[in-house]
Chains A and B, each alone.
Chain A
Amino acid sequence: MLSRTADSLFWIGRYSERAGNVARGLSASWRMAALAAPRGKAEEEWRALLVASGGAPAFFARHGTLTQAAAIRWLTLDPDNPSSIASCIQAARRNARAVRTALTVDMWSAINDTWTELRRIGPDAVAADRLPSFLEWVQARTLLFNGAAADTMLRDEAWLFLRLGTLLERGDNTARLLDARHAAFAPAAEAADPAAWQAALRAVSALRAYQHVFRARLAPERVAELLLLRPELPRSVRACHQRVQGLLEAIAGLTGRRGACHDTALALRQELAAARIGAVLQEGLHATLTRIIDTNLRLGEEITALYLSGR
């Protein structure tokens, strides 16, 4: 297929996923901040979320001080934040319009109707106690788009690039959210911080999943294991990279081309399959996650160079 079309599909996958992930993470932080506020620790929640989104430097350059209202606006509607929910929805729709015929009617409707509705939303939709229903709406729209794609899209190259963008973004998001709270997972941490462990799980909708898997109290090494290494959790870093590597193999089969991205993806998949959480925590969760996040960045560049840039 045209490189430009594949590029747009890849980015539709990424932006659509990102909007849902920001909503999910913000939902968790908002709840945790409400509990942490009496103890004067709300700011940490917001800081963790800003760091995870990669937008902390830009935020502080514009806002100086971290307040709940400023953080919420930055992550939801601010057009100056390229990864705000609003910016992601805009970008997804812009890309979808450019490759309209590569999408099914249900997929186009899902994206376009989300965009249309967003244009009607003003700042009061994310104020105070109205925020949770806005965030639920965003998450629901992402699920709708994913469902439309899963149920109606032909399983061809277009599907593969769309899924590739989605899963690369999903795995990266989990890694970042965990990394933003890594201090709470160090074996030598001064004090147990169950609030941080719970926040990490909530941010990827994995709190109940933890109980289904472990049936025990929260323990930091188990939380880290679930989010990083467990293949049965669909948002775990390992599960996402398993799929990313499989998708790249399928794309190589259809296009007859492979490159650096295949080696990178395979190495990461194998590393995550072989890893044991005890060793990871000894080495340092932050070091491992930083490495994974950097690899994701490189992987995106390698995919772009090989398939999406057109030369």
Chain B
Amino acid sequence: MPPPPPLPAFDECGWGGRIRPAYAGIARFLATAGPELLEAKRREAEALFRRIGITFAVYSEGGDPERLIPFDLIPRVLAKGEWERLSAGLVQRVRALNAFLGDVYGPRRILQAGLIPPDLVLKNAAYRPEMVGFTPPGGVWTHVAGIDLVRTGPEDFYVLEDNCRTPSGVSYMLENREAMLRLLPDLCAAHRIAPISHYPEELLETLKAVAPAGAGADPTVVVLTPGPFNSAYYEHSFLADEMGVELVEGADLFVEDETVFMRTTAGPKRVDVIYRRIDDDFLDPEAFRPDSLLGVPGLMRAYKAGRVALANAPGAGVADDKSIYPHVPTMIRFYLGEEPLLANVPTYECDKPEDLAFVLAHLDSLVVKLARGSGGYGMLVGPHATPAQRAEFAARIRACPADYIAQPTLPLSTVPTLVNGGIAPRHVDLRPYILFGREIRVVPGGLTRVALREGSLVVNSSQGGGTKDTWVLEEDPPAENGGC
């Protein structure tokens, strides 16, 4: 099938035209570097990541190491002002999502006000009745949130998706920066880039801040992982290592007297805060799936007794569900009394008859997704599909409309990327990471994901996407003639 026609997209660099000020240094570098140098650097980058990847890659017995997520050398740059506006919007959004969680597991004011259909929340698969009436330590539900953003123009950013459960990718964000400093030190030194290497310290402080009362002056924090066969295991062990805390599996912990202990050579040691990278379902065979071997029996008892903190809180997933997503702007207005600083992508909910009719009539221009899907699967990209594919998908939607939401096909912004034969624009998105402990903090930049196939809008690594280093400049670059 021939590559899809390129959508008119906003190139963040201005590649091939007038270079935007934030990219002036990059553009100069690319112009003078030459293809041989770039190719040599590209190979060096791959070897570097392969060595790090080989060190931490997940092996299945007798199998090959997991494919590495490709890294692209050309960074994505955000100017100071651009970032400050985004950052404020992210803080606002995370504050509202937390307020929503506290509300739907508490007084349910937003439901009583008739602003969100109750069934959407209370019958949601991610809603945990076990959490009703419970206030997590510090009132924080989403200690680590990843809010996925896309851009369609200089000032036009949209939130694509919220991730309030176990957002991953932060280790790539950190390793990408290290790689850039190693591979292109002069280019990095020519820019004042906001540092991110303190993320593990920030994360540790966030986790300690929500330790339960009685934890003492130096709370014991652990990272709970499903184990080496999990695809994100590298990140779990990386973060535990960087924070200097133990990486534990379910079997290393036990609950006694409503207290969580880990099994150490010095005897049982009390655990105060668990950064858990295990889904709710598998967390505690006593409370959730009884067949889970990954969790800790009695963990929810200890949690509800206020003897241990869990980050992120169980039940936080109801806030990032795709069927709840269209209501986040409402949450911002209701809980904060503010207008949303970051817009949602216009979303059609197929369980609403008028939306369903619109969607079926405009499949050729919409992206249709499962309301409960992830990873880019179960998705129709209308403009890239054949009429036969669209008809087949329409039948699926008609069969189960409530399962689907649709959004216009956004022309995602592009950033120059190294491709076979040189440099070309490729579509990107952005996943910033927001920490909520005593206060809400946003790490400058985040993970830029890039769709490596020409014209492709799918950035997920599980489907061939790559990543870039993301730079937030600490000073606004001088605007050139007429600015950007």
Contacts and interface: CB of A to CB of B under 8 A. Distances in A.
B252 A4 contact: yes
Given A100-B56, A101-B240, A310-B252, A2 B263 contact: yes
Contacts of A257: 265-267
Interface string B256-292: 0000001111111000000000000000000000000
B82 interface: no
B266 A255 contact: yes
A157 B265 CA distance: 9
Contacts of A3: 252, 263-265
B237 interface: yes
B277 to A, nearest CB: 15
B89 interface: no
B237 A101 contact: yes
B55 A255 contact: no
A108 B237 CA distance: 15
Contacts, number: 53
A81 to B, nearest CB: 19
A308 interface: yes
Contacts of A108: 55
Nearest to A109: B55
Nearest to A7: B265
Given A2-B246, A3-B252, A101-B241, A311 B263 contact: yes
B265 A6 contact: yes
A12 to B, nearest CB: 15
Chain B contact-residue range equals 20 to 34
B228 interface: yes
A223 B237 CA distance: 49
Given A97-B228, A101-B241, A251 B56 contact: no
Contact of A256 (B228, B248, B266): B266
Contacts of B267: 255, 257
Contacts of B241: 101
Contacts of B56: 100
Contacts of B252: 2-4, 310
A108 B59 CA distance: 14
A6 B266 CA distance: 11
A113 to B, nearest CB: 11
B247 interface: yes
B419 interface: no
Contacts of B246: 1-2
Contact of B264 (A2, A98, A101, A161): A2
Contacts of B424: none
Contact of A2 (B62, B228, B237, B262): B262
A185 interface: no
B30 interface: no
Given A98-B228, A108-B55, A1 B265 contact: yes
Main SS at interface, chain B: mixed
B240 A308 contact: no
A309 B264 CA distance: 9
A216 to B, nearest CB: 46
B55 A1 contact: no
Nearest to A310: B263
B265 A307 contact: yes
A119 B266 CA distance: 38
B391 interface: no
* Band of interface residues on A: 20 to 34
B251 interface: yes
Interface string B221-262: 000000010000000010011000011110110000000001
A197 B250 CA distance: 52
A308 B264 CA distance: 8
A150 interface: no
Contacts of A2: 246, 248, 252, 262-265
A106 B166 CA distance: 32
Nearest to B58: A97
A70 interface: no
Contacts of A1: 246, 264-265
Contacts of B237: 100-101
Contacts of B265: 1-3, 6, 157, 161, 251, 255, 257, 307-308
Interface in B307-347: none
A254 to B, nearest CB: 8
Interface in A254-306: 254-257
A209 interface: no
A55 B131 CA distance: 55
A100 B241 CA distance: 11
Given A2-B246, A3-B252, A310-B252, A97 B264 contact: no
B263 A4 contact: yes
A309 B267 CA distance: 10
A254 B266 CA distance: 8
Contact of A97 (B59, B262, B268): B59
A4 B267 CA distance: 12
Contacts of B55: 100, 105, 108
B221 to A, nearest CB: 14
Contacts of A161: 265
A311 B248 CA distance: 15
Contact of B247 (A97, A101, A105, A311): A101
Nearest to A119: B62
Nearest to B269: A2
A254 B267 CA distance: 12
Nearest to B61: A94
Interface string A22-42: 000000000000000000000
A152 to B, nearest CB: 14
Contacts of B268: 311
A299 B59 CA distance: 34
22 contacts: A1-B264, A2-B246, A2-B263, A2-B265, A4-B249, A6-B265, A97-B228, A100-B228, A100-B237, A101-B237, A101-B240, A101-B241, A101-B247, A105-B55, A161-B265, A251-B265, A254-B266, A255-B265, A255-B266, A255-B267, A256-B266, A310-B252
> Which 4 pairs of residues, A with B, have the shortest CB-CB distance?
A310-B263, A255-B266, A3-B263, A307-B265
Given A2-B252, A255-B267, 17 more contacts: A1-B265, A2-B248, A2-B262, A4-B249, A4-B251, A4-B263, A97-B228, A101-B237, A101-B240, A101-B241, A119-B62, A157-B265, A251-B265, A307-B265, A309-B263, A310-B252, A310-B263
